Amino acid sequence: MAVLYWFAAVLAAFGNDPVPGDVDLSFDPGSAIEDSVLAAAVQSDGKWIIAGMDGVKRLNVDGSLDTSFLAGPIDDRVTNLAVQPDDKIVIAGSFGEIAGEVRNKIARLLPDGSLDLSFGNGVSGVDDGGVLAIALQADGKIVIGGEFTSVNGATHRSIARLHPDGSVDSSFEGALGKDHWVQSLALQSGDRIVLSTGTGEPYRVLRLLPDGSMDADFAEVSVGRASFVRDIMVLEDDALLISGMFNHANGAEWRHLARLHSDGAVDADFAGDFAGDWFGVSAVAVDANG
Mean pLDDT, residues 28-49 = 91
Task: For residue 268, give its domain range.
Answer: 173-290
For residue 115, what pLDDT is reported? 96
Q: Is residue 207 part of a domain?
A: yes
pLDDT tens figures, 110-143 = 999 999 999 988 778 898 889 999 999 999 999 9
How far, CA to CA in Å, does 10 sit from each of 7, 19, 23, 75, 273?
A: 5, 13, 10, 40, 28
127 in Cβ contact with 148 (< 8 Å): yes
Q: Is residue 168 part of a domain?
A: no
Q: How many domains does the chain have?
A: 2
Q: Is residue 115 part of a domain?
A: no
Mean pLDDT, residues 169-175 = 87
For residue 210, what pLDDT is reported? 95
Q: Is residue 289 part of a domain?
A: yes
For residue 6, what pLDDT is reported? 29
Neighbours of 130 (CB within 10 A): 19
Note the pTM of the prediction, 2 decimals: 0.86
**Nearest of 232, 221, 224, 219 to residue 281 by alpha carbon:** 232
Q: Is residue 179 part of a domain?
A: yes
Give the separation between CA 171 and CA 85, rounded to whole angstroms: 24
Q: Is residue 263 part of a domain?
A: yes
pLDDT tens figures, 88-118 = 999 999 999 999 999 999 999 999 999 999 9
pLDDT of residue 2 exceeding 70: no
Q: Would you give the end-to-end CA distance of the chain in angstroms?
A: 32
Give the separation between CA 4 and CA 72, rounded to whole angstroms: 29
Q: Is residue 61 part of a domain?
A: no
For residue 227, what pLDDT is reported? 78
% of the chain exceeding 70 in pLDDT? 86
Burial class (CB within 10 angstroms; exposed 0-12, middle 13-18, buried 19+) of 233: middle
Q: Is residue 193 part of a domain?
A: yes
pLDDT of residue 47 exceeding 50: yes
pLDDT tens figures, 237-284 = 999 999 888 877 887 878 788 899 999 999 988 876 565 555 677 777
% of the chain exceeding 90 in pLDDT? 56
Maximum mean pLDDT: which of 14-23, 149-158, 268-277, 281-290 = 149-158
For residue 200, what pLDDT is reported? 59
pLDDT of residue 8 exceeding 90: no
pLDDT of residue 57 exceeding 70: yes
For residue 9, what pLDDT is reported? 34
**Range name among 43-52, 98-107, 113-122, 197-206 with the lowest pLDDT average:** 197-206
User: CA neighbours within 13 Å on the CB side: how many for 234?
Assistant: 19
